[in-house]
Amino acid sequence: MEATGQMSPSDVKFDTKYGPLINGEIVEAADGYIDAVNAATGKVLSQIGRGGKEDVDRAVKAAGEAFPKWADTSIEERSILMNKIADVLEENQDRLKLIECMDTGRALHEFDLDYQLAINQFRYFAGAILTHYEGESRPVENGYLITKKEPLGVCAQIIPWNVPMIMTAFKLAPALAAGNTIVLKPAEDACLSVIEFGKLISDILPNGVVNMVPGYGPEAGQALIDHPDIDKLAFTGSVGVGRLVGRTAGDRILPVTLELGGKAPHIVFPDVDIDSAVENATLGYTFFNGESCILGTRLLVHDDIYDEYVEKLIERAKQVKIGPPTNRSTRLASIINEKQGERVLNYFDIAREEGAKILYGGNRVTVPGHEHGYFIEPTIIEAEPHMRIAQEEIFGPAATVTCWSDIEEVVKVANDVEYGLAAGIMTDDLEKGLTLANRIDAGSVWINSYFNFQTGAPFGGYKNSGVGREYSKEALDAYSQSKTIAAAYKRPPFGTFM
């Protein structure tokens, strides 16, 4: 699934502007446009629509009109179309990766994984819908009992800027497979690849089945979740906004899926090969530029190996290549924008004020020709578990290190945060690892290989990390509702109720 390497950034041509995708075509944005900026250079790549109530209303109406026919489409036909979407994504991935690289500031090589996961999502649900519980019947006294699954209707989906194509696939694939229509609100900070993808699938899907309205969260996002004709809400992003979405769902009695924040522990036992454990941990906190809720940013290291481990962790951090996002040898690139870059740097100041010790990094660095970008060193911080730097999402390439000696102690520390999305364990004793995994409050626990995503494995979190699961057949249930039909051969005889 790797890029061919035949395309360069200069080969990528953008439309002058990207309005909302409504009813199968790009239309003019009612409320004007927003500059889409290269995260590393500051160059304006294009403009995206500033979605608002009018654009959202048009998109919801288009989805509503398309729903009855799409819901009646056979699961076999839906499966065929899902595979066609996977095909077109695979065929166009080189260009889309470059677009996403420039838009987000992330290193180009990372998108090989992103697009593998996204393509696999469409292929997985193309197959899963064929075997999903569509219904069963059984004889009962005086007739038959029939149960079936039906789609929900028009789904509002809101995704973040850090992994646009992964998030798009996570949201679209199960909803489409189950027979729903969609209005997707991609993040204004990075959505060019998503809208380009939307243009591609508009040639595959019936008009109105997938609609996209870019724009600011308080405008386009709020208009979407408040729209009276929405039948399901799905959101990935911050806990604060997730609470607002959940409150709206509660007020209107709508089904909701929320994938929110994380502060994952990555627990290191003393029996590991330290070099491989350091490599695994470095990947676990620097991938995605550190801008991900699943990162293993709390390294909990057994005190028998703590000093040697931390020393090697620092040496490995020094070797991480910081450079232009579009260079395939780059391993750490630009934070999405100035606001996020300053937020990360501010967390380092908070860490110092609380008494944490920055062992390495903590600085913004300059990459020639990309002075606009916020390139931040891999940062290792020795911290106590109660400190903010060890409790709150940083969303930058930084990890805290804390030592432990007792298994009860490390379980308590690992679980003593508001989140429970992911966790990592490194040990040569698989029995010990599995025993600990069962005690960690996290939706995904990866032993000895961080980011070990397996297609069809449920993904979601405990506690404030969210509600519901994606990436699996459970997502089909989240985008479906059950109906029971009891059919009697004969009506009760006259006089039964006298």
Task: Give catalytic status of residue 259 as yes or no.
Answer: yes
Cβ partners under 8 Å of residue 321, min gap 6: 329, 330, 331, 332
Task: Give catalytic status of residue 191 as yes or no.
Answer: no
Strands (E), 314-378: 334-335, 357-360, 364-365, 374-376
Distance between CA atoms of 487 and 146, rounded to whole angstroms?
Answer: 8
Q: What distances in angstroms separate CA 311 from CA 86, 242, 358, one per listed residue?
A: 44, 39, 13
Instruction: Supply 393's token pair.
Output: 């999402």
Distance between CA atoms of 289 and 67, rounded to whole angstroms?
Answer: 39
Instruction: Supply 362's token pair.
Output: 């903590």
Three-state SS string across 148-216, please? Answer: EEEECCEEEEECCCCCHHHHHHHHHHHHHHCCCEEEEECCCCCCHHHHHHHHHHCCCCCCCCEEECCCC
Beta bridge partners of 379: 398
DSSP assignment of 433-474: HHHHHTTS--SEEEESSTT---TT--B--EETTEES-BSSHH
Place of tokens 């780059």: 330
Beta bridge partners of 158: 185, 235
Distance between CA atoms of 460 and 262, rounded to whole angstroms?
Answer: 10
Which among 293, 377, 393, 403 is annotated as catalytic?
Answer: 293
- CA quadruple 24, 1, 107, 457: dihedral positive or negative? positive
Distance between CA atoms of 291 and 420, rounded to whole angstroms?
Answer: 17
Which among 110, 219, 259, 291 is annotated as catalytic?
Answer: 259
Instruction: Supply 294's token pair.
Output: 């699943």
Residues annotated catalytic, as ranges: 259, 293
